Structure 1
Amino acid sequence: MKAGVGIRALALAYPETVRTNDYFRTNHAQVLAEAQQKSLSRVWSPHKTTESARDIFNEEMAPFLDDPFRGTVERRVLGPGESVYSLELRAAREALAAAAMTPGDVDLLLCTSLLPQAVGIGDAAFLAKDLGLRGTAWNFESACSGALVGLQMACSLVRSGEYRNALVVVGCSYSQNTMETDSLGWTCGDGAAAFLVSSVPEGSGVLGFKSLHTAETCGSLYYEMVAEADQAPRMFLKANPQAGKSLKVVSESSLRASCEGAAQAAGVSLEQIDFFVFNTPLAWYASFCAKTLGVSLERTINTFPLYANVGPVLMPTNLYHAAQAGRIKPGDLVLLYTIGSVSSAGAAVLRWGEVALGPSPVAEPPPVGAGHWRPGAR
């Protein structure tokens, strides 16, 4: 049996500013009136891409097609004096505090964000400096699968004996990289997460991984430098007209391969999994994943109504709230699944242990269950 390695502590950091749909109704009424011709509606509209008798993705998306926000309810966005880096630093400090560890206990820091404050360099070395770490610090990138890839790298390096304690930090600043006048940004928010990976009792921790590339989505989403009037040029997220079709195809093909592969690597079946944590970049994504795998919605969680799409922070956010609500308990088998465009998709199976949690970023936890809600009016 492999030496036990897993998550020892998990923390989230989100901005205080909450932006509801009324913000866009008030400030961008013309864009809203033309919503069906804008990016969001073009990307997430029905695409016939499968020969199977049942198209679960389109079925689960259908109730949201009359909603110009595609099911988005709230987003937490950076306010004055905040940055993705400040969120990353706060999450890292709270993960250390939850684990009762000092910076001197951490000998490896792994960091990824969309996009980092230090574009072209990454935030890892800055975090190491401000945290007072003495070990090494690396940047990496795998889009919305960043947290799972960071977990896999950290577990492998700790299990090898090369490092003892690894701190993984992920951040997202979509509100800074999407235009308010582009409806694609209406589904996006900001946030950060951090988790500590260390040795855990044998038989617990991460038991198996499976990862796949998502090269089929190359070109679907991309960043473009744009100079707005009287402002410095910034990188903005864009989508090509075929983005929805290619992302849907990958969603259908990678989900089962990743989850079944991770279960096989762990020596278990999907039927033995107690709880499933899918990343939720769309209002209907958890429900799509659950129905594709034949999993009860009561064995999943969907925090999209609270946070919208926060890229690599999605999976640790869902995992945190599932643990906080007591929906996963020590000894449970948990499956994590993430998918990122122009990067990777993957899954991990772990036996949940005694994981310390940082303070909750929201006063009211997300509702129990996933996929039960439908478009709101807020």
Structure 2
Amino acid sequence: MSSVLRSAVTGVGGYLPEDVVTNHDLAKIVHTSDEWIVERTGIRQRRKAAPEQGASDLAVEAAKRALDAAGRTPAEIDLIIVATTTPDLTFPATAALVQRKLGCPVGVAFDVQAVCSGFVYALSVADGFVARGLSKCALVIGAETMTRLMDWTDRGTCVLFGDGAGAVVLEPVQGQGTIEDRGLLGFALRCDGTKQDLLYVDGGPSTTGTVGHLRMQGNQVFRHAVINISEAVEAAAEAAGVPVSSVDWFIPHQANQRILEGVAKRLGIPHERVISTVAEHANTSAASIPLALAQGVADGRIKPGQMLLLEAMGGGLTWGACVIRL
């Protein structure tokens, strides 16, 4: 059997801002309650970035922790991909700011914009560099300051989101082309632009010249999420050559506890194999999967050699899934 190059996750790190905003805190500024939010979403609290913190600052902290876990230094990084829908600036890319703040050498650095699916998309893009031998040490980061997009009078959306960042270090490893290989084994990425109106931000540089606010048709998003995500998960598992039932951990995008449970049930994944951080983190968009991964690694549930199934759906509508052996 011939040897193949794989992209392996060698380090994971997460970062959450210090400011904790509980449901009770939100009930003071918008007509809602802890009971209402928990019943519909499973969310109990979220983090909010300090006024002086941009997405790049959150990304840098998560990246430092991932680098430490991998035993690597910024000097070794030759590729940085940041998945974000809340960049510090219109340009340059947040990845360029991260490169500067970390002190990485001149290399490749750019952002990926697929909203909540961004981290899965970014992993796929990074795999195209690492598994082809074009990158020796890559940082893939999901970083968001979603609270900056909130309309704080809209109780249907402002209670759902939080800020944070998660990062992984990707490095090339030799494999045998089998499901026993360590690394990224299979992807499925999707987008349906006709569903734009279900989840979007009503502003931008070339339209309103403003940042805008997040708008969502929650019931429609929920319906599409369970069906579409399940299809992508099955497609990613087929691409990897593994049955969904064989995965050790299901690490979904942390949008809503009901969506997590709905997808897991549809796929036949028992709840004890689902990593859920939505109660503490809320929806951190592109940061949610790496934050959940970092949490699972930190508390000892996720171990080297285990098979992981990641999935997400976000505005666009975009969605996707990937299979990784840690």
Task: Give the match for residue 335 of structure 1.
Answer: 309
Aligned counterpart for 2:165 among listed residues 189, 192, 196: 192
C-alpha separation in 2, matches of 1:179 and 1:70? 18
TM-score by structure 1 length? 0.77
Amino acid in structure 2 at the alignment position of 1:218:
Q
Secondary structure of 1:27's partner? coil
Quick check: which has more Rg, 1 or 2? Answer: 1
Secondary structure of 1:79's partner? coil
Do the aligned partners of 2:56 and 2:87 also contact (CA within 8 Å) in 1?
yes
Task: Give the match for residue 325 of structure 2.
Answer: 351
C-alpha separation in 1, matches of 2:253 and 2:4? 27
Do the aligned partners of 2:226 and 2:262 also contact (CA within 8 Å) in 1?
no
Task: Give the match for residue 312 of structure 1.
Answer: 286
Amino acid in structure 2 at the alignment position of 1:238:
L
Over the matched positions of the two proteins, sequence identity in percent amounts to 27
Say yes or no: does 1:236 pair with 2:212.
yes
Aligned length: 313
Say yes or no: does 1:168 pair with 2:140.
yes
Task: Give the match for residue 250 of structure 1.
Answer: 224
Q: Note the residue ranges of structure 2 that are not aligned, 5 or more in a row.
A: 176-180
Task: Give the match for residue 15 of structure 1.
Answer: 17
C-alpha separation in 2, matches of 1:239 and 1:107? 37
Task: Give the match for residue 213 of structure 1.
Answer: 191
CA drift at 1:15: 0.6
Task: Give the match for residue 26 of structure 1.
Answer: 28
CA drift at 1:80: 4.1
Do the aligned partners of 1:255 and 1:289 also contact (CA within 8 Å) in 2?
yes
After superposition, what is the alpha-carbon deviation per residue over 1:266-305, rounded to whole angstroms, capped at 9, x for unaligned?
Answer: 1111122122111121132221111111111011111001
- Bigger drift between 2-11 and 288-297 goes to 2-11
Secondary structure of 2:230's partner? helix
Amino acid in structure 1 at the alignment position of 2:266:
T
Calculate the aligned-residue CA RMSD, in Å.
2.3
Aligned counterpart for 2:62 among listed residues 91, 94, 109: 91
CA drift at 1:216: 4.2
Q: Note the residue ranges of structure 1 that are not aligned, 5 or more in a row.
A: 36-63, 227-232, 353-378
Compared CA separation, residues 4 and 67, structure 1 to 2 (3 A): closer
Counterparts of residues 38-49 of structure 1 (less than 5 Å): none
Secondary structure of 1:256's partner? helix
C-alpha separation in 1, matches of 2:219 and 2:161? 20
Do the aligned partners of 1:214 and 1:250 also contact (CA within 8 Å) in 2?
no
